C-alpha cells in the first residue's frame, strides 16, 4: 500500500504523507502543504477535512455503523446504562463494579447546585430559551467551582460535577420557567429516574416513575452521547484549543448544538408536525412538497448528512418510540401525523432511492413528546446526552501531542489594495 499521495502543481510534483486509521480510513496529511507548495485547501463546512486523530468514536455513513471506543451502538443501547457509556467515552474503557460504584457516588455527591445559582435563573426573562440559559449557567459554574486542571483528581471531579449538575440545572430551568418549586435530586434514584423526578414531580401530583419511560430516555442519551466531529463537538475542540477551562468549552458546545440544523432538529420535527396540524395540511401534501425541487420546504427528520444507509440510531429509538406509544396510549394528533408520515416515507420510491429514511431526530422528537417534555426542552435533553462525548473530546484534545491552536485559513475574495480617499473627495 502506498503511504504517500502525489500532487502536481506549477510543473512540480510533491509527495504528501497518507495516514491510515485502524478501520482503514485514509487521509492526506496536509500539515506541511502550504510550506512545501504555497497552497492551502478549500473545504467549506470541513466535510472532507480531518481535524484530529481520535480514539473515541468510529462511524461509517455508507454502512450505517456507529461505535463508541469500539463497541457497537446497538450493544450499548441494549445492555449499558448511560453512566457506563459516559465512563466508557471519557475514560476509554467500561468500568468494573468498583469504578462504577465510585462514579455513581461522585455523581450523587455533586448533583446539587449552589443555591445562589437560583438567583441567576430568576433573572432571566420567562420567555428565554432553555438552551441560552443552560449555556450561560454552565459557563458561570467556573465562578462557583474555580479549581481546575491542577491534578488528575481535580479534572475527574470537574468532569463528574458537570455530568451531575447539568442534569440538575436543566430540570431547575424548566421548573423556574413554569413558576414551580424546584425539585432537588434524590440519592435513592438512578441517574435518569432522578432527572425525570426533578422535571415532573410536584407537591400536588407526585411523579410515578415508569421503567420503560426511564429506559427510553436513557437510550436516547446513549444514542446521542457522541457522534464524531460534528458541529458542536468541533466547537468544543476549537474553543478548547485556546486552553480555556472545561466549562467554557462545554458552553460553546451547547451554543453550537442550539441550531435547528444540529441539535434543534428534533424540535424542528415537532414544529413541522404542529404546523401541519394547525393548518390542516394532509401528510401526502407534505411528501409532495418535499419532492418538489422548486419548493424550499424541507421534511424535517428525514435523511442525514453522514449516513447514506439507515441511521443505526434511528432503528434503535424507533423501537422505543413504538413501545411508548403502544404502552401509554396517548391520544395526540401530532403523533398520528408522524406515524402516517413514517408509513408513507418508508414505502415511497423517491425516499428510498434518495436514502431519505426517518432519522434519529424524527423518532426522538416523538419519544420526548410522548414522555411529556415540552418542545423547547428537546435540545437541552440532547445536550445532556452529548455531554460525555464533549468531555471525552476535550480531554483527548488536551492530551494530544499534536495539539495546535485552531486557526483555519481563508481564500480572500475582497477588494485589491487601493489608497485611502479623504471624505470630501468621495462620491
Work out the pLDDT band at 150, boundaries 50, 70, 90: low
Structure confidence at residue 1 (pLDDT): 44
Structure confidence at residue 143 (pLDDT): 86
Percent of residues, the chain, with pLDDT higher than 90 = 65
**Is-catalytic flag, 262?**
no
Query: What CATH number has the domain spanning 4-60?
Result: 2.20.28.60
Tens-place pLDDT, residues 207-241: 999 999 999 999 999 999 999 999 999 999 999 99
CA quadruple 305, 307, 312, 318: dihedral sign: positive
3-state class of 276 per DSSP?
Answer: helix
Question: What are the start and end residues of each CATH 2.20.28.60 domain in the chain?
Answer: 4-60
For the ranges 120-134, 140-154, 337-351, the lowest mean pLDDT is seen at 140-154
Structure confidence at residue 121 (pLDDT): 83
Q: Of the residues 201, 226, 311, 361, which is catalytic? A: 361
Which has the higher per-residue pLDDT, 179 or 164? Answer: 164
Structure confidence at residue 123 (pLDDT): 85
Structure confidence at residue 279 (pLDDT): 93
- Phi, psi values for residue 419, rounded to 5°: -80, 155
CA quadruple 59, 65, 66, 68: dihedral sign: negative
Rounded Cα gap, residues 120 and 254, in angstroms: 18
Question: What are the start and end residues of each CATH 1.10.580.10 domain in the chain?
Answer: 72-263+387-398
Rounded Cα gap, residues 27 and 25, in angstroms: 7
Work out the pLDDT band at 76, boundaries 50, 70, 90: very high
Query: What CATH number has the domain spanning 272-371?
Result: 1.10.230.10
Work out the pLDDT band at 265, boundaries 50, 70, 90: confident
Query: What CATH number has the domain spanning 72-263+387-398?
Result: 1.10.580.10
This prediction's pTM: 0.92
Which has the higher per-residue pLDDT, 267 or 95? Answer: 95
Q: Of the residues 304, 322, 349, 355, which is catalytic? A: 304
3-state class of 297 per DSSP?
Answer: coil
Under a CB-based contact definition with an 8 Å cutoff, are residues 220 and 385 in contact?
Answer: yes
**Is-catalytic flag, 355?**
no
| End-to-end C-alpha distance for the chain, whole angstroms | 63
Contacts of residues 252-257 at CB distance under 8 Å and 24 or more positions apart, as own/partner, are: 253/383, 253/386, 253/390, 254/131, 254/134, 254/135, 254/138, 254/383, 255/131, 255/135, 256/231, 256/232, 257/131, 257/231, 257/232, 257/379, 257/382, 257/383, 257/386
pLDDT at residue 165 greater than cutoff 90: yes
Under a CB-based contact definition with an 8 Å cutoff, are residues 202 and 178 in contact?
Answer: no
Task: Tell me which range, 12-21, 68-77, 289-298, is most confidently predicted by mean pLDDT.
Answer: 68-77
Question: What are the start and end residues of each CATH 1.10.230.10 domain in the chain?
Answer: 272-371
Tens-place pLDDT, residues 41-54: 999 999 899 999 99
Under a CB-based contact definition with an 8 Å cutoff, are residues 338 and 332 in contact?
Answer: no
Work out the pLDDT band at 149, boundaries 50, 70, 90: low
Percent of residues, the chain, with pLDDT higher than 70 = 97
Structure confidence at residue 153 (pLDDT): 61
Query: Please, what is the average pLDDT of the chain?
Result: 91
Amino acid at each position: 500500500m502506498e503511504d504517500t499521495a502525489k500532487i502536481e502543481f506549477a510543473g512540480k510534483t510533491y509527495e504528501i504523507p497518507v495516514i491510515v486509521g485502524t478501520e482503514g480510513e485514509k487521509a492526506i496529511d496536509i500539515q506541511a502543504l502550504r510550506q512545501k507548495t504555497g497552497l492551502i485547501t478549500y473545504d467549506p463546512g470541513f466535510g472532507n477535512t480531518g481535524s484530529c486523530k481520535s480514539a473515541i468514536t468510529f462511524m461509517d455513513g455508507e454502512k450505517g455503523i456507529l461505535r463508541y471506543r469500539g463497541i457497537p451502538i446497538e450493544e450499548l443501547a441494549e445492555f449499558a446504562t448511560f453512566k457506563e457509556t459516559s465512563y466508557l467515552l471519557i475514560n476509554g474503557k467500561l468500568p468494573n463494579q468498583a469504578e462504577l460504584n465510585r462514579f455513581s457516588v461522585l455523581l450523587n455527591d455533586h448533583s446539587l447546585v449552589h443555591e445562589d445559582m437560583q438567583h441567576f435563573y430568576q433573572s432571566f426573562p420567562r420567555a428565554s430559551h432553555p438552551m441560552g440559559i443552560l449555556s450561560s449557567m454552565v459557563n458561570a459554574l467556573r465562578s462557583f467551582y474555580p479549581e481546575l486542571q491542577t491534578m488528575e483528581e481535580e479534572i475527574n471531579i470537574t468532569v463528574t460535577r458537570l455530568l451531575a449538575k447539568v442534569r440538575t440545572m436543566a430540570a431547575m430551568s424548566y421548573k423556574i420557567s413554569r413558576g414551580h418549586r424546584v425539585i432537588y435530586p434524590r440519592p435513592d434514584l438512578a441517574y435518569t429516574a432522578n432527572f425525570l423526578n426533578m422535571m415532573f414531580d410536584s407537591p400536588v401530583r407526585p411523579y410515578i416513575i415508569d421503567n420503560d419511560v426511564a429506559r427510553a430516555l436513557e437510550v436516547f442519551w446513549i444514542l446521542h452521547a457522541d457522534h464524531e466531529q460534528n458541529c458542536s463537538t468541533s466547537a468544543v475542540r476549537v474553543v478548547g484549543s485556546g486552553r480555556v477551562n472545561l466549562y467554557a468549552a462545554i458552553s460553546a458546545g451547547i451554543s453550537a448544538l442550539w441550531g435547528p440544523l444540529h441539535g434543534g432538529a428534533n424540535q424542528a420535527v415537532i414544529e413541522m408536525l404542529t404546523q401541519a396540524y394547525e393548518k390542516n395540511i394532509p401528510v401526502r401534501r407534505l411528501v409532495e412538497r418535499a419532492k418538489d425541487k422548486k419548493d424550499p420546504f424541507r421534511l424535517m427528520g428525514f435523511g442525514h448528512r453522514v449516513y447514506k444507509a439507515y441511521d443505526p440510531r434511528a432503528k434503535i429509538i424507533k423501537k422505543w418510540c413504538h413501545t411508548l406509544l403502544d404502552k401509554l396510549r396517548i391520544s395526540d394528533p401530532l403523533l398520528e401525523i408522524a406515524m402516517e408520515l413514517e408509513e408513507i416515507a418508508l414505502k415511497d420510491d423517491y425516499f428510498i432511492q434518495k436514502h431519505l429514511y426517518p432519522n434519529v431526530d424524527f423518532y426522538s422528537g416523538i419519544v420526548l413528546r410522548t414522555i411529556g417534555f415540552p418542545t423547547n426542552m428537546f435540545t437541552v435533553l440532547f445536550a445532556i446526552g452529548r455531554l460525555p462525548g464533549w468531555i471525552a473530546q476535550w480531554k483527548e484534545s488536551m492530551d494530544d501531542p499534536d495539539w495546535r491552536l485552531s486557526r483555519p485559513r481563508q481564500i480572500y475574495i475582497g477588494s485589491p489594495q487601493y489608497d485611502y480617499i479623504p471624505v470630501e473627495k468621495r462620491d
